[in-house]
């Protein structure tokens, strides 16, 4: 599912990618939509059929050999590139040794996150954030991991997806939160700059971004659909937020089922 930021005050635009077909989900709001898993799963990297999807879209051999499936992707501070044990050094040079941004977001409350600079604002839309603010830029993914670990002493890196989907999120003063956190963590940031260089981690003078989503009605109670348990998901499409489709019958996280062959009607 592809998400693009809305223009002006318009909400984000969602497109369902079904094979060669493209379905405008915003245009289906308020209408009946059906998704049926055919029981087939294909690895999104090599294309081989697999009975189970690993790491949201990979077969087991790819899961065990690709750098993008290694634990250091989730925990960048554990990067082992310089130990000579990276699964794919060339891939790492292209993806991990690029500028990364440390940001604050408000998806179900204040959280800290990291992403490649080129992934903004897509990363925020994927998380269902209603506000976001870049606060630091670093030279590599590993450095962003060390900074995130430091910030997690003061703020969570998690999203309460149920609260996010219920729309129970109050706006925050992200500028004030940024200033508070930078002041409290000044010593830790100074130590990281001593380690990686004064210019490796620098503050950004950015303004908060506000994000809107196409939602007709938020659910009062969260019921989660799962293709592995019931292959048919049908109902009236009431909203789109993060990687979730909100039906009157429940919600489904499509990213969780990357690689699943699904019929759309």
Query: What pLDDT digit, counting tens, does each position of 221-257 carry?
Result: 999 999 999 999 999 999 999 999 999 999 999 999 9
What global pTM score does this model have?
0.93
Residue 120 has what pLDDT? 94
pLDDT attached to residue 20: 78
Predicted local distance difference test score (pLDDT) of residue 21: 83
What's the mean pLDDT when you consider all of the chain? 96
In the three-class reduction of DSSP (H, G, I as helix; E, B as strand; rest coil), residue 28 is classed as helix
Helix pair 186-196, 174-184: axis angle to 10 deg: 70
Q: How far apart are CA 77 and CA 141, in angstroms?
A: 8
3-state secondary structure of 94: helix
At residue 8 the predicted structure's pLDDT band, cuts being 50, 70 and 90, is confident
With a cut of 80, say whether residue 18 has pLDDT above it: no
In angstroms, the CA 77 to CA 149 distance is 8
Instruction: Judge contact between 227 and 200, C-beta under 8 A.
Output: no
Sequence ranges of the domains in the chain: 2-55+214-264, 98-210
HSE (side-chain half, CA atoms, 13 Å) at 260: 25
Measure CA 158 to chain center. 11
The CA R_g of the chain, rounded to the nearest whole Å, is 20
Contact 107, 121 (CB under 8 A): no
Q: How far apart are CA 246 and CA 52, in angstroms?
A: 25
Tens digits of residue pLDDT in 188-218:
999 999 999 999 999 999 999 999 999 999 9
Q: CA–CA separation, 262 vs 36, rounded Å?
A: 5
Q: Is the N-terminal amide bond of 128 cis, ω within 30° of 0?
A: no
CA distances from 53 to 39, 46, 67, 243, 255 (A): 12, 13, 17, 17, 11
What's the pLDDT tens digit per position in 125-143? 999 999 999 999 999 999 9
138 within 8 A of 100, measured Cβ to Cβ = yes
Instruction: Tell me the average pLDDT across 62-75.
Output: 97
The pLDDT value given to residue 58: 98
Query: What is the pairing mode between strands 250-253 and 260-264?
Result: unpaired
Residue count (the chain)? 265
pLDDT at 182 over 80: yes
**DSSP β-bridge partners for residue 133:** 104
- 41-52 burial, b at 16+ Cβ within 10 Å, e below that, comes to bbbebeeeebee
E strand residue ranges, 2-65: 2-4, 13-18, 21-24, 32-41
| pLDDT attached to residue 170 | 94
């Amino acid at each position: 599912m592809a998400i693009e930021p809305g223009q002006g005050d318009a909400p984000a635009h969602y497109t369902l990618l079904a094979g060669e077909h493209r379905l405008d989900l915003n245009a289906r709001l308020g209408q009946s939509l059906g998704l049926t898993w055919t029981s087939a799963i294909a690895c999104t990297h090599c294309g081989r059929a697999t009975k189970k999807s690993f790491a949201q879209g990979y077969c087991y051999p790819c899961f065990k050999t690709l750098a993008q499936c290694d634990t250091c992707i989730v925990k960048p501070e554990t990067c082992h590139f310089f130990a000579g044990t990276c699964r794919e050094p060339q891939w790492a040079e292209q993806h991990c040794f690029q500028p990364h941004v440390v940001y604050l977001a408000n998806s179900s409350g204040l959280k800290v996150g990291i992403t490649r600079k080129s992934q903004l604002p897509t990363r925020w839309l994927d998380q269902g954030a209603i506000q976001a603010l870049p606060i630091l830029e670093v030279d590599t993914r590993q450095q962003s991991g060390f900074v995130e670990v430091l910030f997690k002493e003061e703020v969570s890196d998690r999203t309460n997806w149920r609260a996010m989907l219920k729309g129970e999120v109050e706006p925050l003063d992200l500028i004030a939160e940024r200033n508070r956190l930078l002041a409290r963590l000044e010593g830790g940031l100074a130590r990281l700059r001593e380690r990686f260089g004064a210019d490796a981690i620098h503050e950004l003078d950015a303004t908060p971004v506000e994000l809107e989503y196409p939602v007709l009605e938020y659910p009062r109670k969260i019921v989660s659909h799962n293709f592995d348990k019931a292959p048919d998901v049908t109902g009236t499409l009431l909203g789109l937020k993060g990687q979730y489709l909100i039906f009157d019958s429940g919600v489904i996280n499509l990213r969780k089922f990357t690689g699943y062959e699904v019929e759309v009607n």
